[in-house]
Chain A
Amino acid sequence: MLTTDNHDRPRTWLSSVLTDIHFWVPLAVLIGGLLLLQSIR
């Protein structure tokens, strides 16, 4: 059984986020949306 607590998480989870495509795709779409909103105002 794997443990529930992960003591190394604070050091690693941010880098895991920044290398995750699931983060960059929504972020890119959000930035694109804000730019589109700015241009159609």
Chain B
Amino acid sequence: MQSVATPGNESSVREISRPRKLQVLGILSGFTAGAWLGAAEAPTKLVSVGVSPMVISLIMVTGVFLARWSVPALILGTSSVRADLRRAPHLIIWALLAGCLWAVANTMTIFAIHDIGLSIAFPLWNSNSLLGILWGFIFFNELRQAGWRRWTGVLGGALVMCVGATLLAIASSTQAPAAHSLRGVWAALGAGMLWGTMYIPYRKAYLSGMNPLSFVTFFTFGELGMMATLAIGYLGLSPLWHELTSARDVLFWLMLGGFIWVIGDVFQQYAAKYVGISRGIPLSNSNQLWGLLWGIFVFGELRGSGAFTYMQVIGGSLLMMLGVGAIAFSSAAGKEQAQWQEAARRESRRYHIAEDYVEARMQGMEMAGEIRPPRTVWDWMLVAVATAIFVFFATLARAPRLSFHWGPAVLLIAATLALLLVCGTTLWRTTRFN
């Protein structure tokens, strides 16, 4: 097989240290994903009660849909997305499947929080990282020949994060009355199962060489289609429309939450690509820590709580950071990387995808002689339409009256943007967003 080429067609020499660079990039992407997925909770906190959870979820997904088309169009161009799909058309099925899994899981979390409260529900669905490790091992050769130290780092780190998440969730819990506790437990476990399984399509796409930005554009059809079906099925078309029109003041905040969530998810996709799902999912799950920072410092959620609650928060946060650190220092080494490549070759053979293309993309490169299609007028139109829709809803939005602390908000926004800048620049320099 011909040796493959080049980040952005610039260098023809494959660097020996490249796998290490990609591991670091994947870990950085996981951290950044956690920050942005956590920040996505902030706009939704501006929405007062009175809006159906199903409507909240549907509107967020609408914002997600707009972002999932406009962001890739801006960064990559839809011609590149089409070129990716021509090489691996079968992945459309997995993208739709993953989108459907996400939507059903998200709906289940609404029931779970309602029935058993966040404190019990969150740790239960956070088990998705353990399931992700299992699927990664069984299906994609992750952690094979990794050695006991890396196994301990990844599995131990994920378990420590689960304990930390439990403490944080208990501290931040609203403690909803446990009217249907068994139903809530099933819903939370179901959400964890669906979300953990959703990473099978993610990993499959990246072992087939697909660009994460291409994958998410089709993922979102499954997401929006399933969410709209569930919302119409649960509420009925006419009541749903009535709720949407009566909630027009807050639609923008929910769509903005969806937009921010997409930025986080894009980095989560790169984490899944470059460090695998066994490490990428736990790193992204640090979003709970960021969500809590927003809740405590910006929205004053724990004001008036006792010392015990603050001890839980500090202890939970330390455990989360410890778990993240353990996973970050357990990156895949040579033998495990060889197992990943074997899994990628298996996908190439099964779906007749050119091995040089898959190998290049696994290395975050383009094939020798490959020219990325330029952006077209359609890309700019997509971006313009998405922007116009956001601006339109922004004109309808009203700023709610609630406790909001600008100082910590500015600090958190600056930290989140700094991560975006650092990780985005590193991704561009290392992979040209491949």
Counting from the closest, the 8 A-B pairs by CB-CB distance are: A6-B352, A1-B2, A29-B197, A4-B354, A33-B104, A36-B190, A40-B183, A13-B90
Q: Please count the residue pairs between chain A and chain B whose beta carbons lie under 8 angstroms apart in the complex.
A: 93
Q: CB-CB contacts of A5-25 with B at 8 A, as 1s and 0s?
A: 010110011101100111101
A36 to B, closest residue via Cβ: B190
Q: Which residues in chain B, 319-348, are within 8 Å of chain A measured between CB atoms?
A: 348
The verdict on B200 contacting chain A, using a C-beta distance below 8 Å, is yes
Determine if A17 and B107 form an interchain contact, defined as CB atoms under 8 angstroms apart: no
Expressed in whole angstroms, the minimum distance between the Cβ of A2 and any Cβ of chain B is 5
Determine if B97 and A13 form an interchain contact, defined as CB atoms under 8 angstroms apart: no
Give the CA-CA distance A7 to B135 in the complex, in Å.
32
Checking B183, B194, B354 against A33 with a beta-carbon cut-off of 8 angstroms, the contacting residue is B194
Determine if A40 and B187 form an interchain contact, defined as CB atoms under 8 angstroms apart: yes
Checking B98, B351, B367 against A13 with a beta-carbon cut-off of 8 angstroms, the contacting residue is B351
19 additional contacts (CB under 8 A) given A6-B353, A16-B350, A40-B108: A2-B355, A4-B356, A4-B357, A4-B367, A13-B351, A13-B352, A16-B351, A17-B93, A21-B139, A23-B94, A26-B198, A27-B97, A29-B101, A30-B104, A33-B104, A34-B104, A36-B186, A37-B104, A37-B187
A20 to B, closest residue via Cβ: B350
Contact residues of A: prevailing secondary structure: helix
Category for how many chain B residues contact A:
35 or more
Q: Which residues in chain B, 73-116, are within 8 Å of chain A measured between CB atoms?
A: 87, 89-90, 93-94, 97-98, 100-101, 104-105, 107-108, 111
Chain B positions within 8 Å of A14 at CB level: 90
Give the CA-CA distance A4 to B33 in the complex, in Å.
33
B203 to A, closest residue via Cβ: A22
Determine if B1 and A22 form an interchain contact, defined as CB atoms under 8 angstroms apart: no
A-side interface residues toward B, CB under 8 Å?
Answer: 1-4, 6, 8-9, 12-14, 16-17, 20-23, 25-27, 29-30, 32-34, 36-37, 40-41
Expressed in whole angstroms, the minimum distance between the Cβ of A23 and any Cβ of chain B is 7
Contact residues of B: prevailing secondary structure: helix
Chain B positions within 8 Å of A34 at CB level: 104
Determine if A9 and B89 form an interchain contact, defined as CB atoms under 8 angstroms apart: yes
The verdict on B234 contacting chain A, using a C-beta distance below 8 Å, is yes
Q: CB-CB contacts of B193-211 with A at 8 A, as 1s and 0s?
A: 1100110110010000000
A40 to B, closest residue via Cβ: B183
A34 to B, closest residue via Cβ: B104
Chain A positions within 8 Å of B193 at CB level: 29, 32-33
With A2-B354, A22-B139 known as contacts, the answer to whether A30 contacts B187 (CB < 8 A) is: no
Give the CA-CA distance A36 to B230 in the complex, in Å.
13
With A8-B352, A16-B350 known as contacts, the answer to whether A30 contacts B89 (CB < 8 A) is: no
Q: CB-CB contacts of B120-136 with A at 8 A, as 1s and 0s?
A: 00000000000000010
Give the CA-CA distance A23 to B198 in the complex, in Å.
11
Give the CA-CA distance A25 to B204 in the complex, in Å.
13
Determine if A26 and B200 form an interchain contact, defined as CB atoms under 8 angstroms apart: yes
Chain A positions within 8 Å of B104 at CB level: 30, 33-34, 37
A-B contact pairs, 12 of them (CB 8 A): A2-B356, A16-B350, A20-B350, A22-B94, A22-B200, A22-B204, A23-B94, A26-B101, A29-B194, A30-B104, A33-B101, A33-B193
Give the CA-CA distance A17 to B107 in the complex, in Å.
28
Expressed in whole angstroms, the minimum distance between the Cβ of A22 and any Cβ of chain B is 5
Chain B positions within 8 Å of A2 at CB level: 1, 348, 354-356
Determine if A1 and B186 form an interchain contact, defined as CB atoms under 8 angstroms apart: no
Checking A8, A17, A33, A40 against B105 with a beta-carbon cut-off of 8 angstroms, the contacting residue is A33
